[in-house]
């Protein structure tokens, strides 16, 4: 090394510390996420210092207060104009604070509040040794059927760690659709994925099936994360930056500056196409689109039902939000490249989910394939590439999340000696044994089918209308056909409940606490309100449908 080079390095190292730029963090704009992260950390401390008998109440209190406070912060930001007139970029360009981000964060938080009520339910299973139990294993580290597990059950242990895990997952989901660079996107993906992997393995009943589901979800999720990370590396090589705005400008050809270290790779279209494809693959895995859906039925069936309901609703909201931002902010210049591929994915997702659902005999697997079909319907709105496409997807996600949480909450009520009675044959005659529960579940099924006067109809009409106006009329035809196929298995369950003779050894319907009743009641109310009077909420989604760039 020459003397001048050594002198330059020494001079640079000796520069005063004052030249280092101080990071600018807009804490007020990040407050929804910071509140949830703080609650998650407090939850971990509760596990360390609060006596075991008191942890449940402390955890539930902290989680509920934090989620409500976080939602209030989202509302305050929206009222302050960040959703409409003054969207911005926070945390040194890492986080977008705009209409879609705030709308999706609000939806995730409301879903989390309702889902938390099902997590906290402790009256569905009979008391064990005088202790009320919930849906989660008495001691997560114990081997199923072992003496340590029996001792934990006898002692009345509960896995209250699920509450801070839930809060960490919610924090990641809040960041995921608002991430404004690829590195933040990946970190958020892992922050909400890892707690979900753990929670899937914590079922109190059928623990082996639960652990199998968690392993499958973890392994396939790791592959999807690896694809996403590889895609991020390729896009960085293409654009010389992980910032959404910079990548979009390079795609449009408006950035003349070339990073010297990446002079041989910047602007290479092969890196752009392969990198974008890998990132989109990772996001399609999270939404459960075909052919990246293989984990969905097994995980939905094996995971504790409260986790399944929360995961089916909130994960879809967060993942579709991230997918919208990638396609509409980063890759709008490639729309003619990605639209044909997304057409194919949407078609096989709608048809595949609807057709395979017909063959299912387990209610949780049926709802899993139903969620796959709904991912295809939502993709129709994504493909529109218009402002109406964004607003229709936002509305659909909000409507779908409450129907999903409510439906899985009802599933937790129908029980036999082995726990939840999820085989369809056991639901025969439920309408005669418990008319109210059957009627509520029928409302959710009709919403899934898209029957008028339910939120499902308003959501499907919105996305199909946006797709047709965006030049995807053939896709709408496929969507209508898929909806007709899906309506068959939804109606089949309703007929089974109301027009079949109840089995003598049929299941019972547990009487839940006010927590689960609140979750179900909120689901029914939102389903009917959004179905009967959707216009205000459609306008709200339309106002929030503009991305900051």
Average pLDDT over residues 2-21: 55
pLDDT category at 142 given cuts 50, 70, 90 is: low
Would residue 11 count as lying in a domain?
no
Please give the pLDDT value at position 333. Answer: 83
Average pLDDT over residues 239-247: 88
Domain residue limits at 527: 26-543
Most confident of 33-37, 152-156, 534-538: 33-37
Nearest residue to 374 (alpha-carbon basis) of 424, 425, 300, 304: 300
Give CA–CA dist 399/250, Å, rounded. 36
Please give the pLDDT value at position 336. Answer: 82
Average pLDDT of the chain is: 87
Would residue 479 count as lying in a domain?
yes
Lowest mean pLDDT among 174-178, 198-202, 379-383: 198-202
Please give the pLDDT value at position 129. Answer: 46
Average pLDDT over residues 278-289: 93
Residue 105's Cα: distance from chain center in Å? 11
Percent of the chain with pLDDT over 90: 56
Please give the pLDDT value at position 432. Answer: 87
Using CA atoms, how far residue 482 sits from 297, 356, 486, 491, 526, in Å, is 19, 11, 6, 14, 24
Would residue 205 count as lying in a domain?
yes
Average pLDDT over residues 350-365: 92
Please give the pLDDT value at position 27. Answer: 85
Higher per-residue pLDDT: 152 or 39? 39
* pLDDT tens string 256-269: 566 666 666 676 78
Would residue 129 count as lying in a domain?
yes
Higher per-residue pLDDT: 390 or 6? 390
The domain total for the chain is 1
pLDDT category at 156 given cuts 50, 70, 90 is: low
Hey, what are 53's tokens?
């008998």
Would residue 1 count as lying in a domain?
no
Please give the pLDDT value at position 81. Answer: 82
What count of other Cβ atoms lies within 10 Å of the Cβ of residue 352? 19
Nearest residue to 176 (alpha-carbon basis) of 287, 69, 95: 95
Would residue 380 count as lying in a domain?
yes
Give CA–CA dist 517/75, Å, rounded. 26
Average pLDDT over residues 109-136: 76
Would residue 230 count as lying in a domain?
yes
Would residue 2 count as lying in a domain?
no
Please give the pLDDT value at position 125. Answer: 67
Average pLDDT over residues 297-326: 93
Concatenated DSSP letters of 129-176: TTB---SB-S-TTSPTTSHHHHHHHHHT---TTHHHHHHHHHHHHHHG
Concatenated DSSP letters of 219-274: HHHHHHHHHHHHHHHHHHHHHS--BHHHHHHHHHT------GGGTTTTT-HHHHHH
* pLDDT tens string 213-227: 999 999 999 999 999
Lowest mean pLDDT among 89-98, 350-359, 365-374, 398-407: 89-98
Average pLDDT over residues 226-236: 94
Please give the pLDDT value at position 510. Answer: 82
């Amino acid at each position: 090394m020459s003397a001048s080079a050594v002198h330059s390095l020494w001079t640079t190292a000796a520069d005063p510390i004052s030249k280092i730029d101080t990071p600018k963090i807009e804490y007020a704009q990040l407050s929804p996420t910071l509140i949830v992260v703080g609650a998650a950390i407090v939850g971990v401390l509760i596990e360390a210092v609060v006596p075991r008998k008191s942890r449940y109440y402390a955890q539930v209190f902290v989680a509920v207060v934090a989620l409500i406070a976080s939602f209030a912060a989202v509302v305050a930001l929206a009222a302050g104009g960040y959703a409409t007139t003054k969207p911005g970029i926070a945390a040194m360009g890492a986080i977008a604070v705009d209409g879609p981000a705030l709308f999706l964060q609000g939806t995730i938080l409301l879903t989390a509040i309702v889902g938390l009520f099902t997590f906290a339910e402790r009256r569905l299973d009979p008391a064990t040794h005088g202790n009320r139990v919930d849906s989660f294993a008495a001691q997560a580290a114990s081997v199923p059927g072992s003496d340590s597990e029996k001792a934990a059950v006898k002692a009345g242990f509960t896995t209250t760690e699920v509450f801070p895990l839930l809060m960490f997952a919610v924090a990641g989901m809040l960041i995921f659709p608002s991430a404004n660079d690829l590195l933040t996107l990946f970190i958020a993906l892992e922050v909400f994925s890892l707690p979900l992997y753990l929670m899937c393995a914590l079922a109190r009943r059928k623990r082996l099936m639960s652990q199998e589901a968690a392993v499958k979800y973890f392994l396939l999720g790791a592959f999807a994360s690896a694809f996403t990370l590889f895609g991020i590396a390729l896009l960085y090589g293409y654009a010389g930056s992980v910032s959404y705005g910079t990548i979009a400008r390079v795609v449009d050809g408006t950035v003349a500056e070339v990073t010297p270290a990446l002079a041989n790779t910047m602007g290479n279209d092969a890196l752009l196409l392969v990198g974008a494809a890998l990132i989109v693959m990772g996001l399609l895995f999270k939404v459960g689109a075909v052919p990246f859906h293989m984990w969905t039925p097994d995980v939905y069936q094996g995971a504790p039902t409260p986790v399944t309901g929360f995961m089916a609703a909130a994960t879809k909201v967060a993942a579709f939000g991230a997918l919208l931002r990638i396609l509409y902010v980063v890759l709008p210049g490639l729309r003619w490249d990605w639209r044909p591929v997304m057409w194919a994915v949407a078609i096989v997702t709608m048809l595949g989910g609807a057709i395979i659902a017909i063959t299912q005999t387990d209610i949780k697997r049926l709802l899993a394939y139903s969620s796959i079909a709904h991912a295809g319907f939502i993709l129709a709105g994504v493909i529109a590439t218009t402002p109406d496409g964004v607003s229709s997807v936002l509305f659909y996600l909000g409507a779908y999340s409450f129907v999903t949480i409510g439906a899985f909450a009802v599933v937790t009520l129908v029980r036999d000696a082995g726990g939840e009675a999820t085989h369809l044959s056991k639901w025969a005659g439920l309408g005669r044994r418990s008319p109210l529960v059957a009627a509520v579940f029928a409302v959710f099924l009709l919403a899934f089918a898209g029957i008028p006067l339910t939120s499902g109809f308003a959501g499907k009409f919105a996305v199909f209308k946006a797709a047709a106006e965006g030049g995807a009329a053939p896709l709408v035809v496929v969507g209508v056909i898929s909806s007709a196929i899906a309506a068959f298995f939804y109606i089949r369950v309703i007929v089974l409940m109301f027009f079949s003779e109840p089995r003598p050894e049929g299941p019972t319907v547990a009487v839940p606490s006010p927590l689960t009743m609140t979750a179900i009641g909120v689901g029914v109310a939102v389903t009917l309100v959004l179905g009967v009077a959707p216009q205000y909420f459609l306008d709200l989604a339309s106002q929030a449908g503009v991305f900051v760039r």
